[in-house]
Structure 1
Amino acid sequence: MFDLVGRSVLVTGGSKGIGRGIASVFARAGANVAIAARSAGSLDEAVAEVDDLGDGTVIGVRVDVSDRGSCDEMAAAAVEAFGGLDVLCANAGIFPDAPLATMTPAQLDEIMGINVHGTFFAVQACLDALTASGTGRIVLTSSITGPITGYPGWSHYGATKAAQLGFMRTAAIELAPHGITVNAILPGNILTEGLLDNGEDYLASMARSIPAGALGTPEDIGHLAAFLATREAAYITGQAIAVDGGQVLPESLDAIIT
């Protein structure tokens, strides 16, 4: 059960953070993995690291997900390398801070271009290959921020993450006749490079707000993505699943049992 050996997977935004965690889990499970990212330096490093984790083939692909043509080239590269494509993990995203009162049109366009347009374009570019697979899987990386919670400075980010879920529900209906499932993961606070830069005091404060008592890891997201990518998960589609250690559950910090 839950065999991913030989499955071909494309992970956008896969060179660092949650994306690298997703790519690592698939590689350890024996899948062929295409890691797509904008930066050549971080992409080469990620490919070298992930390639050592499993027996499948790992390649790197440069992509700007906000550009449909670039996404088409990305999908074609993965199909050429692996002979097909079974799984798309549409993970690429940015999360810049921008208070609503001072947010510029350029800031809004940038985050919409990558987080929303990038989701549409990546899925569209991979549709033919996923249909040909017969057991195509699409896994979106959304967030608890937007669909469930809010945070000052991230109104534009939250809007993009909620938009992904609206996209998911209709895409799941449209693609079901082709054997393709579409689901989303909603990460909570995950221990990535960006959070580490905030220091130990910040990390300890965040951990205290989570019933599980700790921040998640990129691999925690990867484990759910891997399950949703299996053939056994064929009857799960259009679902948004939070992976947050119970962060969204308490009414207040007083409800956390320590």
Structure 2
Amino acid sequence: MRILIIGGTSGIGLALAQHYLSLGEQVAVCGRDLQRLDPQLVERYPAMGRYQLDIADKNALAAAIDDFSGGGLDLLIVTAGLYFNTPSIQLDPATALQMLRTNVSGLNHAFELASAKMLPRKSGQLVAIASIAGLLHDYPGASLYSATKRMVIALCETYRKALAPFSIAVTTIVPGYIDTAKLRALNHGDASHKPFLLSEQQALAHITQAIAQRQARCIFPWQMHWLVSLFNCLPPPLRRLIRK
């Protein structure tokens, strides 16, 4: 398979790249800083494609997809996204716009460009990493991040509806907290206090199984899913109070 991973230079994106490379698949990763890649990984897999770009840059994204998909594109995985640790942060206009461009319009552009490569062959799969935060109903004080992740889930559902007649699958990954370097950095080096925290390897097992089975949606862990469902049943004022 030819697999392109946007956001594949770190975290769960990099773990997915290593997984598919170990299986002998043709893999390319995209990221804003290719220097983050482990030199030993690059040396071990010299055929791995590497594209330095920001998902918010549609022209750069189109060029990378065109270049890599010359022999066809079987699987696109989008893990790129901006995250802020708390809804209480007041985002400046530039940061808010960057989050929208990365989490929403960037994903839309990636799916649009990749599906254009897959439609003539009537095969392929699109995958996006959302968040359990995207399952939260909107309420006063809810974060922009959770709103963008609701859009990720909605975009996936829309593309799934449009592409299903052409044998192109769309898989939405909806994880809880994953113990990545990024999450630890946002929590002063230690994310162990996060509820139902999963290791990267545990998350990788859920994600790769969902992709292999071409599932429509994969939500994990079940405990976080249950908590979010319970939270959504509360009146909006009480939800806001709890979040504070």
Say whether residues 1:217 and 2:207 are aligned partners. no
1:71 aligned residue? 61
User: 2: CA distance between counterparts of 1:39 and 1:93?
Assistant: 14
Deviations along 1:105-127, one digit per CA (max 9) or x if unpaired, are: 22221100001011011111212
Say whether residues 1:188 and 2:176 are aligned partners. yes
Is the alpha carbon distance of 1:76 and 1:60 closer, same or farther for their aligned partners in structure 2, counting shifts above 3 Å? same
Structure 2: give runs of 5+ residues left out of the alignment: 232-244
1:49 aligned residue? 41
- Larger mean CA deviation between 187-196 and 153-162 belongs to 153-162
1:93 aligned residue? 81
Q: How many residues are treated as equivalent by the alignment? A: 228
> For the Cα contact (< 8 Å) 1:22–1:218, is it kept in 2?
no
**Alignment partner of 1:121: what SS?**
helix
Identity of aligned residues (%): 24
Is the alpha carbon distance of 1:64 and 1:204 closer, same or farther for their aligned partners in structure 2, counting shifts above 3 Å? closer
Is the alpha carbon distance of 1:227 and 1:51 closer, same or farther for their aligned partners in structure 2, counting shifts above 3 Å? farther
For the aligned residue pairs, the C-alpha RMSD in angstroms reads 2.9
Say whether residues 1:32 and 2:26 are aligned partners. yes
TM-score (norm 2): 0.81
> For the Cα contact (< 8 Å) 2:207–2:218, is it kept in 1?
no
CA positional deviation for 1:216: 1.6
Considering Cα pairs closer than 8 Å and 6+ residues apart, tell me whether 1 or 2 has the greater RCO: 1
The structure with the largest helix share of the pair is 2
User: 2: CA distance between counterparts of 1:113 and 1:11?
Assistant: 18
Is the alpha carbon distance of 1:222 and 1:52 closer, same or farther for their aligned partners in structure 2, counting shifts above 3 Å? farther
Read off the aligned partner of 2:154 and give its amino acid letter: G
CA positional deviation for 1:153: 8.6
User: 2: CA distance between counterparts of 1:30 and 1:196?
Assistant: 31
Counterparts of residues 98-113 of structure 1 (less than 5 Å): 99=87, 102-113=90-101
1:226 corresponds, among 208, 221, 239, to 208
User: 1: CA distance between counterparts of 2:111 and 2:48?
Assistant: 20
